[in-house]
Chains A and B, each alone.
Chain A
Amino acid sequence: MKKLMCISFWLMGCLLPALSHGAEPDAAEAAIQAGHSDSETIPKLVQQLTEKSLTKAIPVLEALAREGGETMLPLFRTMLNGDLYYVKATGRVVGQQEVDGETSYKDLLTAEPVTGLGKRDTKKIRVNNKLRGFLRDSISRIQLSSEDPAKRGAAVRSLLSDLDDSTVLAISEARENETDADVMATMDLALAMYALAEGNSDVEKMDAIEQLSGSLEQDVRNLLRQYAEMEPDHSDYNAKASAAASKALSKIQEKVEFYGFVDQLFFGLSLGSVLLLAAIGLAITFGVMGVINMAHGEMIMLGAYTTYIIQMLLPNHIDLSIWIAIPAAFIVSGLVGVAIERGVIRHLHGRPLETLLATFGISLFLQQLVRTVISPQNVPVSTPSWMSGTLDINPVLSLTLNRLYILAFALLVFFALLIILKKTNLGLNVRAVSQNRAMARAMGVRSDRVDALTFGLGSGIAGIAGVALSQLTNVGPNLGQSYIIDSFMVVVFGGVGNLWGTLVAAFSLGIANKFLEPVTGAVLASILVLVFIILFIQKRPKGLFPQKGRAAE
């Protein structure tokens, strides 16, 4: 990669003079070619970004990095994020910012705000993959001297994959003044890698291998593997180094396998949390009330659409939108649920199979409603910035943040629901009505009201699930359909009317699925899980945790 880039610079260098149509070579051109500069160079170079086509921007940036050093960071970052614009009339390069819905511009070199510009006055400076890769590398190099140790560490790590003489020189210079122990360790790693790859003496290499043997870095493993698998006729071959490398490698491999297992477990838990969220509302409407709610998926869908609408209304508070969407979705889906209960299900008491037909009709109706009112197309829902990214535990184990949040959220919803059912008056009434309606009524429980509230609660929780799912998958009219069968499986497998059963079922199905998947492939894994549930239900017709006592009848 590095080499390629050098070659392309060289090519560009050759081509550029030819392309400048004989214009007088100014200071900027000179800077690109020879590296000499004056105070005018940087603005002129920046100016060139607006003129050159994408493929020719790299030499300009190269020169900028050399000339400007750290002062170029805001420009590079803005460009990397695709927020670099130029004013159509004057050609002035500006960075675009969006704060509270207001688009503002500022000059990146002087940090002065530029006012009086509308969206139509500016044109975007486009970037492509090559440019992004280059910008990211340059930023890393510049950041070696950053204030923040975390940034320095990340910079060194990102440089591990292409260590060349100049990079290593920069790293070893930075090493001198480094104070942070972690960053120092990473820098040592980089130097050891370089020593192993380029070192001359055996001792040097053996030392390097020794130093590398504890690391989980992918680049380290690749380098060691190179040594371990080296053929004896290779010019660099060294029997001792090779043996040491393969030993180090197998030690690392053990660790990697362990973390791989942890990773898979996390995937399983994460899938389980999605299943739990999807099923938990159904555990109420189906499990407690006995209504086969085929419109449950559509309640999830409504929750997801609520998130979309909230984000539409508050386009500049994406980070906040989720917190508003959660209660909003609960209310929207809950109200629709109450309406369904009052309008339809109330009339079908004691006829669970008929609730299936009616709610299936409602589900078709709601889907078509969304298609007609909003759009048959999927709609975009953005992920708040605090939910994107990963929690890096070590180089081979990083947990995605959104999944972590959703896992925590699912558990939170579960326990909140449990408390509602076990500790509140409403919960008491719900349990009373579901166990013995006639008796509960005789004791003065207003069963009609309780039914409506229970159904509303179940639907509302489905709506909350929709908010979470909108962060993972498509938001479209068919969203609910893809979760309805899984939800039923979870509830039935766990045992109808038992929330703990739903929890255990969701997580065990999620984990089983994820551990089967690498062996059998995704499709076969889901088929096997389904077949397992079918057979399991034959063995224990009431699920994992059957209801005991009178409620069972």
Chain B
Amino acid sequence: MSSLISSIFANRGQPGGRVMPFVMILLVATVLASCLNLFTPEGSALHVSTYTITLLGKYLCYAMLALAVDVIWGYCGILSLGHGAFFALGGYAMGMYLMRQIGDRGVYGNPILPDFMVFLDWQELPWFWLGMDQFWFAMIMVILVPGILAYVFGFLAFRSRVTGVYLSIMTQALTYALMLAFFRNEMGFGGNNGLTDFKDILGFDLQSDTTRIVLFLITAALLSVALVTSHWIMNSRMGKVILAVRDSESRARFIGYKTETYKVWLFVYSAVIAAVAGALYVPQVGIINPGEFSPINSIEVVIWVAVGGRGTLIGAVVGALLVNYAKTRFTAILPEGWLFMLGALFVLVTLYLPKGLMGLYGQLKDKFSGPSGPSSANDRKTSDTAEGASA
């Protein structure tokens, strides 16, 4: 166990770190948890409750979202404060499918219109709801809608070289504008109440333990796929260019790389991961509403990544899991103190753990093994220039 862990933390110099062992742990742990939920009797000491499974499923979705942010922030220096928008759009696409699946089991029994449209007296389904009753179509939309939005936004922004702080604030404006839009009841997405009261997915009852376990396992699997793909991208030729863009965009451009193109496609890739995370999140928590677009949520994701350690794929996942676990625990124990702790955590992490928990290992190692070696000095320089370029 411990050698496995040390192998994850080691080799930080390489982009992405060692992902494979981590993915293995992740998959084994989720399968184990699932088996303990399904095959041990309730009340047994080993039983994992359905509550825990839904909680873990939610954490994994958040981890995937954090991974998406890390891919562009940690590796390309683009700090997006609007990734919640892609997450929520993916979620809404899935929510629309689930809504259509309810069919005539809604409270008004209307086979076509969702309940919120019936009592607001809508006569027919708006055009953008058409086709969402087909699973394959909805899944295409999960990827296509956020993907296209990310492409258009990225294309416009990166082409005109909007960088650093400006870009962060524009992404924030994007998600804020979408939030306001989705709050409007005229939009046809259920306004503040959002989409809820889902019954089943592909014919499987969403309230059955088996469906939950399957969703949970799918989430773990897709998170693993995202980790491996990201790892592969970062270690590919493209990954090297992306790192070069982060460290000095103008230099990379002078050498002859079309940096915008790399940035746009990485942005789209990241948005799609976020959207898939959103699509997996909705059936597990049972509701999607415009609150998910709230800029605060997007900032929180950035914090998870910062806590875990940006620029390491595992760091994002670990950060998301840890912060959310802490949130669950402490809102139960100390509801009033929680925000103090969260606030303090952000300040302390940025001040003392610039590389997050994944960097803590290196920091401590440096401290105990004398003055910093050449590799860590190198790291420091890299991160400084990254910030300098984006400033």
Contacts and interface: CB of A to CB of B under 8 A. Distances in A.
A–B proximity contact (CB within 8 A): yes
Interface of A: 286, 290, 292, 294, 344, 347-348, 350-358, 360-369, 371-372, 481, 485, 488-489, 492, 496, 523-524, 526-527, 530-531, 533-535, 537-539, 541-542
Given A292-B168, A350-B384, A485-B176, A538 B346 contact: no
A368 B340 CA distance: 6
A372 B173 contact: no
7 contacts: A350-B384, A364-B346, A492-B169, A523-B180, A530-B177, A535-B156, A541-B161
A140 to B, nearest CB: 44
A481 to B, nearest CB: 8
Given A369-B340, A534-B177, 13 more contacts: A292-B165, A351-B354, A351-B384, A356-B299, A357-B306, A357-B349, A358-B350, A361-B345, A364-B339, A492-B169, A526-B180, A530-B173, A537-B162
Given A489-B173, A527-B181, A531-B177, A362 B350 contact: no
Contacts of A489: 169, 173
B170 A534 contact: yes
Given A292-B168, A353-B165, A372-B336, A527 B177 contact: yes
Contacts of A364: 339, 342-343, 346
Contacts of A526: 180
B321 to A, nearest CB: 19
Interface string B282-326: 000000000000011001001100100000000000000000000
A144 to B, nearest CB: 51
A538 B295 contact: no
Contacts of A542: 166
B172 interface: yes
B157 interface: yes
B390 interface: yes
A68 to B, nearest CB: 55
Contacts of A527: 177, 180-181
B173 A485 contact: yes
Contacts of B205: none
B340 A365 contact: yes
A485 B387 contact: no
B183 interface: yes
B218 interface: no
By size class, the interface of chain B is: 35 or more
Interface in B139-183: 153, 156-157, 159-166, 168-170, 172-174, 176-177, 180-181, 183
B173 A533 contact: yes
Interface string B264-285: 0000000000000000000000
Nearest to B302: A357
Interface string B358-391: 0000000000000000000000000010011011
A531 B388 CA distance: 28
Nearest to B179: A527
A161 to B, nearest CB: 37
Given A353-B390, A485-B173, A527-B181, A344 B164 contact: no
Contact of B387 (A353, A371, A533): A353
B79 interface: yes
B387 A362 contact: no
Contacts of B296: 481
Contacts of B302: 356-357
Interface string B218-262: 000000000000000000000000000000000000000000000
B351 A347 contact: yes
A292 B306 CA distance: 16
B383 to A, nearest CB: 8
A351 B354 CA distance: 10
A524 B165 contact: no
B10 interface: no
Contacts of B176: 485, 530
Contact of B295 (A365, A485, A524): A485
A344 B352 CA distance: 10
B160 A344 contact: no
B344 interface: yes
B347 interface: yes
Given A344-B351, A364-B339, A365-B339, A541 B160 contact: yes
Contact of B303 (A351, A352, A357, A485): A357
A368 B169 CA distance: 25
A284 B354 CA distance: 26
Nearest to B156: A538
B299 to A, nearest CB: 6
B156 A294 contact: no
Given A492-B166, A537-B166, A360 B303 contact: yes
Contacts of A496: 165-166
Contacts of B306: 354, 357
Given A361-B345, A524-B184, A527-B180, A367 B168 contact: no
A533 B354 CA distance: 32
A488 B295 CA distance: 13
A552 to B, nearest CB: 12
A324 B180 CA distance: 38
Nearest to A485: B176
Contact of B344 (A286, A361, A537): A361
A480 B346 CA distance: 19
Given A350-B384, A354-B354, A367-B339, A534 B168 contact: no
- Among B164, B296, B347: residue with most chain A CB under 10 A: B347
A547 to B, nearest CB: 13
Contacts of A371: 336
- Top 4 closest pairs, chain A to chain B, by CB: A361-B346, A365-B343, A364-B343, A368-B339
B332 to A, nearest CB: 17
A537 B350 CA distance: 29
A488 B343 CA distance: 21
A117 to B, nearest CB: 44
Contacts of B163: 541
Given A527-B180, A534-B173, A352 B346 contact: no
A462 B354 CA distance: 29
A492 B174 CA distance: 14
B177 A361 contact: no
A264 B174 CA distance: 28
Contacts of B299: 294, 356, 360
Contacts of B349: 357
Contacts of A351: 354, 384, 387
B191 to A, nearest CB: 11
A541 B156 CA distance: 11
Interface string B183-220: 11000000000000000000000000000000000000
Contacts of A357: 302-303, 306, 346, 349-350
